[in-house]
Structure formats: C-alpha cells, structure tokens
Structure 1
Amino acid sequence: MKIVHVVEPFASGIAAFVQSIVQNLRDDYHIIIHGEREYVMRSTDIIKYFPEDNVQFIRWRSAQRSISLVKDTAALVELCRLLRNLKAQQMVDAVHLHSSKSGFLGRLACRMMNITNVIYTPNGAPFLLSNINAINILYKLFEKLGSSFGGKVVCSSLSERDAYRKLGIKAMNINNGIAVNVSRHSSNETPAASAKFRIITCARIVQQKNPALFNAIATYFKDFDQFEFVWVGDGEERHLLTSPNITITGWLTQPEVLKLINSSNLYLSTSQYEGLSFSVLEALSLRKTVLLKDCIGNRDIVKKGLNGDMFTNAKEAILKIFQFYNNPAMLRVMGEYSGWLCNEEFNVDATCSLYRSLYQRV
C-alpha cells in the first residue's frame, strides 16, 4: 500500500508516532507531507531516525501553528496541489492525518480532491488546550466542522475517544504503542542507592504540558537535597521553570533520553491533556513507576496502586512523591508491573497491525 501521512507539527510525540508506523509497516510505502517547527526540532534531525527504503518526505512549506485565515488558506491550497499530484501518480491508497491542524486542513483538502480513504489521529484533543472556555469552544467548532468533511477519527486512548464522542463526533480507539524489549532495561543504568531521588519528565515546555505546575511541585522540594527534578526537552514556556532544583536538558537523542529515564526513580507528568504520551510509555517499558496528573490520556496509563498513581494538584503530587521516596520496595514492584502493562496494552506490534487493517478497510 501507498500511505500518505500529513503531519503538522513534525516533532516530539507526533514524529515518534509516525516513525513507529513507518518502521513497523515496512512492506508499505509511506509519503510524509510535513510542516517545520525549527524552534522545536529540525526536520533533518527527525528524518535521520526513519528507515531509508520505504519512505519519502515532502515539505509542506505553508503549514504553521497559529490560526490565520490567510496563511491557512495558503497551506490548504498547497496541500491540495501536493495531494492532486500524488493522486495523479497513483501514490494514494490511504491518507493518515496527524494532529488538529493537519486534521482540519487535510480532511478539507481530501474532500476537495475526492479522496475518501482518510484517517485522522488527533494525538491530543485540541479543545482541551486552554483554560479559556471561548478558545476551547472555537476548537470544538473546528473539530465538528472537520468531521463533516469525512474521514475516520482514530483516537490514541479510550478517554480521548470518549471526549470526541461527547462532542457528537464518531470516533474509535487504537492505543499508541512502542517497541517493548527487555534488553532495553539495563541494570547498570538504574539509580544508585546513594544517588538523589530523581524525578523526570520528557516533553515540549508548552502550555499543554503545564510547566507551571511542574515548577510548583519542584519548588516545594528545593530545600531537600535528596531530591532533583529533570525536564528533558525545551519550548516557549521554559521561563516558567525557575526552581533551582530543576535541570532542563534541552532536546536529546533518543538513546540519551532513554538513559536518563532509566536512571530516574519516578516519572512525573503534569500535562493538562494527552493523546497517549510516548514518553510515559517509554517510562513504562523501562519499568518505572509513574505519577501522572489526572487528565485525558494519562488516566488510560495508570492502574492506581499497581504501576503508579494520579494527582489533581501540586499538594497531592508532593504527598505522593514523599510516599514513593519512603517506599523503595514499592517503587520496584510497581515498576515491574509497568513493564508488564506496556507489553500487554501498549505494544507497537499490535498498534501497527490495527492501523494496517484500518488502512485496508477504509
């Protein structure tokens, strides 16, 4: 099959999602039409992690993050031209749209080009983004309008699917998945008994990930020498991470990220919403206990009391961190369950098999 992926932004978790599909569906040919956010991650740095034999990249030059009638119209026209050319070359068996901007413009472009075999994966419901209701209402309207253009909405977690269904939008669920390999967990990289209790997160430093809450939690521990906080990533809200016990690493290679997660004691997510976080799944695969803010996406990963816990505010998170710190044996047991859960429910082989069947059905 020839599968066209339309991606904006081509960075972070969405790039990891597309990469996993391309790597695991090697018998299919993938054409990736992508935007560029150099301030997050250059596309050249992402492309090098893709296989070379079954993928082609096409730059979507007009695509950009913010909503703008003029710029989005230009992006729509460009996307229609790209799809028309690919269709004329018989290079379109299925179109897979990733994220809300691609989902809206992509479904409209496919409708205009008479392409009906279309899948849209939000990777995080955009109408949960803001604390301002008017903005969320606007995103809800865009999602409803986009669904009228056609295509099948495929959410990456059950709670995200339910959020779409509450809007009256038909949606199904295929869990995100990652490669699960026992050999990834190396005992010589796990935390040393004498080391600080390291709490880590890996994400863009943006509003969705709630760096202000992460900072509030870390600030409480600033006078406790035995605790340290690490944020792997970068972003426009970096200035909110002011606590002196927070280390911001910037963007690292995947092996470096995995090594840092493996050397940590606890994975912390303060996100306002998720699709299904690849970074948290990496933590599960490395047998880490997770402490996640109660939100869409996160609540599909935590089995309370078995592989971690959830919280709703900084006070709850602080209390639970102390509980984990004082119970190292419990951390180890929960970590083992995380590894088992990842293999059972979030294995990339199952994810890609389900998407392959869906590409054929549509």
Structure 2
Amino acid sequence: MKIVHVVEPFAAGVALFVKSLTETMPEDLHIIIHGEREHVMSAKEVKRTFPKGNVRFLRWKSAQRSINPFKDLLALSELHKVLRRLKRKNLVDAVHLHSSKSGFLGRMACRLAGIKNVIYTPNGAPFLSGKNFLFNFLYKQIEKFGNGIGGKVVCCSASELQEYQKLGIQASFINNGISLKALASVKKPKTKNDKFCIITSGRIEEQKNPALFNEIAAYFSGLNQFEFIWAGDGHQRDKLTAENISVTGWLNSQEVSDLVAQADIYISTSMYEGLSFGVLEALSLRKPVLLSNCVGNADVVKNGMNGDIFSSEADAIVKLLTYYNNREMIDVMGQHGQDICSTEFDMHRNFKSYQQLYRNIPAGEIDAPRKSVK
C-alpha cells in the first residue's frame, strides 16, 4: 500500500507517532508531507530517526502552526497541488492527517483532489486547553466543520474519543503504543546518597503546564534529597524557576530513555494530551507515573496500581511524599506499569489496526486490541 501522511508539527510526539506507523508497516510505502518547527527540532534531524527503505519525504513549505487566513490559504493550495500530483501518479491508497492544523487543511485538500480514503488523528484535541473560552469555542467549530468535509476521525485514547463524541463527531479510537523498552536502559542501583528524582519530558509549552510543574518542585526546594528534571525545551522554559529543577534542553531519544530509567517517578502536569508517548515510555521502563487529571492521562493509570492521578498542586505533593516514604512500593508499581504497557500499549499490535483502516475496513471491524485502561 501507499500511505500519504500529512503532518504540520513534524516534531516531538506527532513525529514519533508517524515514525511508529512506518516501523510497524515496513512492507508499505509511506510518503510524509511535512512542515517544520525549527525551534523544536529541524526536519533534517527528525528524518534521521525514520526507516530508510519505505519512507519518502516532501516538504510542506507554507505550513505553520498559528491560525492565519492568508498563510493557511497558501498552505491549502500547496497541499492540494501535492496531493493531486501524487494521485495522478497512483501513489495514494490512503491519506492520514496528523494534528488539528493538518487535519483541517488536509481534509479540504483531499476533498478538492477527490481523495476519499482519509483518516484524521488529532493527537491532542486543541479545544481542551481550558485557558481561553473563545479559542476553545473556535477550535470546536473548526473541528465540526472539518468533520463535515469528510474523513474518519480516529482518536488515540478513549478519553479523547469521548470529547469528540460530546461534539457530536462520530469517531473511533486506537490506543497509542510504543516499542517496549524494559531492557533498553540498565538502571544503576540507588545508594542512600542519591536524590529522589522526579522527571518529565517533552516540549516546555503551555499545554504541558510548566507553571504547575514549577509550583510542585518549588515546595521541595528546601529539601535537598529531592530533584526535578525536565528533559526537553520550549518557549516557556522561563516558567521553570525553582532552584531544584534541571532543564536538559533537547536530547535524542536514547538520552531521554537513560534519564527516565535512572529516575524514581515520572510526572505529567499537562492540561490535555492525546496519549503521551513520554508517559508510555516511562511505563515500559518500570516507572510509576503521577499524572494530572486530564484527557489522555486518564487512560493510563489503573486503580493506583501503576501510579496515581492528581487534581491539584497539593494533591501531587502529598503523593510524591507518599512515594518517597514508601520506596518499596515504587518497584511494585513499576512492574505493574510495564505489564499494563505490554498489554494495552504495544505499538506493534495496536498500530496494525491503522493498516486495516488504510485498506478501508470500517473502524468497527478492526481486530487489534483497542481497549482503554480504566
């Protein structure tokens, strides 16, 4: 098969999502039409991580993140021309659109090009930020309008699906997944002098709520046995002012895995997620996860066996102190987390479901496990 992926934020979790699809379907040709966010990572750097044999790249020069009617019309025109050219060359069996900007412009471009087999995965619904009612309302209307143009909406978690259903949008879901990494990094034994390490990873942006991460860390500033690490970088790095926070800047995936493997707890302060690859990797590395109570995160924690959900700064602090004072529970929870990850979030099983969608099999007939952890 020949699958065309359209992706504007060609970095971070979305790029990893597309890369995972290409790895689980090595027999298919993947053509990736991509934008670039150089302040996060250059497209050249991202491309290096992809398989060489079955992937081709086409630059989407006009694509950009913010809403700008003039620039978006240019991006739509460019994308339409590229898709139409690929269709003429018989290089399109399915088009998979990734993230909200690509989803909106991509569905319009596919409609204009006469391409009907279209799949849209939001990977984090933009109307869930909760910061600005007017922007949230606008994004909801854009999602509704885009859905009316065509294509199948396939969410990456059960809770994200529920949010789209609340909008009256018919959708399905396939859990995100990762390649299990339990043995990828060897954890060094902890000594009595080692600090209790709480880590997170990814873009330092509003969605990830670095201000909340900073507030939680600041509570522990006078306690030398605690340290906090943010593995990543971003526009809101200046929000991380607590003296016990280390910001690594952008690292390659192995370096991030090594840091997570040496930490005690993985924390997410996000306001919303699709289904975080950072959280899933932490589970695969036997780390308990402490996650904010939001869409995407809510699908991961199971009855406190592999971590906890928190609803406030005080709630997170109490749970971190509980972990610190009950070290024996960390290894037990970590093992439960790895077991849950292998059962629910194995990409080699979950992402095969997309292959059936590409073949235009109705979502209700997908065979691979899609069950969400409750």
Q: TM-score, normalised by structure 2?
A: 0.95
Name the structure 1 match of 2:336.
337
Change (3 A) 1:185 1:259: closer
Name the structure 1 match of 2:76.
76
Q: SS where residue 250 of structure 1 aligns? A: coil
d(CA) in 2 for partners of 1:208, 1:323:
27
Contact 1:191 1:264 in 2 (8 A): no
d(CA) in 1 for partners of 2:359, 2:339:
30
In structure 1, give the amino acid aligned to 2:214: N
Change (3 A) 1:191 1:76: farther
Structure 1 residues without counterparts, runs of 5 or longer? none
d(CA) in 2 for partners of 1:18, 1:226:
39
Residue-by-residue CA offset, 1:26-58 (whole Å, 9 max, x unaligned): 000000000000001111111101111100000
Name the structure 2 match of 1:29.
29
d(CA) in 2 for partners of 1:353, 1:191:
39
Cα deviation, residue 301, structure 1: 0.4
Contact 1:178 1:346 in 2 (8 A): yes
d(CA) in 1 for partners of 2:11, 2:135:
24
d(CA) in 1 for partners of 2:194, 2:170:
49
Name the structure 2 match of 1:233.
232
d(CA) in 2 for partners of 1:255, 1:193:
27
- Map 1:119-158 onto structure 2 (within 5 A): 119-158=119-158
In structure 2, give the amino acid aligned to 1:171: A
Asked if 1:322 corresponds to 2:295, the answer is no
d(CA) in 2 for partners of 1:83, 1:187:
47
Residue-by-residue CA offset, 1:277-327 (whole Å, 9 max, x unaligned): 000000000010000000000000011320000111101000000000001
d(CA) in 1 for partners of 2:152, 2:190:
44
d(CA) in 2 for partners of 1:156, 1:192:
39
Name the structure 2 match of 1:39.
39
In structure 1, give the amino acid aligned to 2:27: D
Change (3 A) 1:293 1:85: same
Cα deviation, residue 192, structure 1: 4.1
Name the structure 1 match of 2:367.
none
Cα deviation, residue 180, structure 1: 1.3
Residue-by-residue CA offset, 1:159-197 (whole Å, 9 max, x unaligned): 000000000001101000001144225243x64443100
Structure 2 residues without counterparts, runs of 5 or longer? 362-374
d(CA) in 2 for partners of 1:85, 1:170:
30
Name the structure 2 match of 1:116.
116
Name the structure 1 match of 2:358.
359
In structure 1, give the amino acid aligned to 2:176: N
Runs of 4 or more above 6 Å deviation: none
- Map 1:265-304 onto structure 2 (within 5 A): 265-304=264-303
Name the structure 2 match of 1:51.
51
Q: TM-score, normalised by structure 1?
A: 0.98
Name the structure 2 match of 1:246.
245
Q: SS where residue 183 of structure 1 aligns? A: coil
Cα deviation, residue 24, structure 1: 1.3
d(CA) in 2 for partners of 1:86, 1:193:
60
Name the structure 2 match of 1:207.
206
Name the structure 1 match of 2:193.
194
Contact 1:7 1:99 in 2 (8 A): yes
Cα deviation, residue 352, structure 1: 1.8
d(CA) in 2 for partners of 1:175, 1:194:
39
Residue-by-residue CA offset, 1:64-111 (whole Å, 9 max, x unaligned): 000000000000000001001100100000000000000000001101
d(CA) in 2 for partners of 1:171, 1:267:
31
In structure 2, give the amino acid aligned to 1:288: K
**CA-based RMSD:** 0.9
d(CA) in 2 for partners of 1:206, 1:146:
26
d(CA) in 2 for partners of 1:129, 1:2:
35
Cα deviation, residue 63, structure 1: 0.2
Name the structure 1 match of 2:63.
63
Matched-pair identity in %: 55
d(CA) in 2 for partners of 1:149, 1:322:
50
d(CA) in 1 for partners of 2:22, 2:68:
31
Contact 1:40 1:235 in 2 (8 A): yes
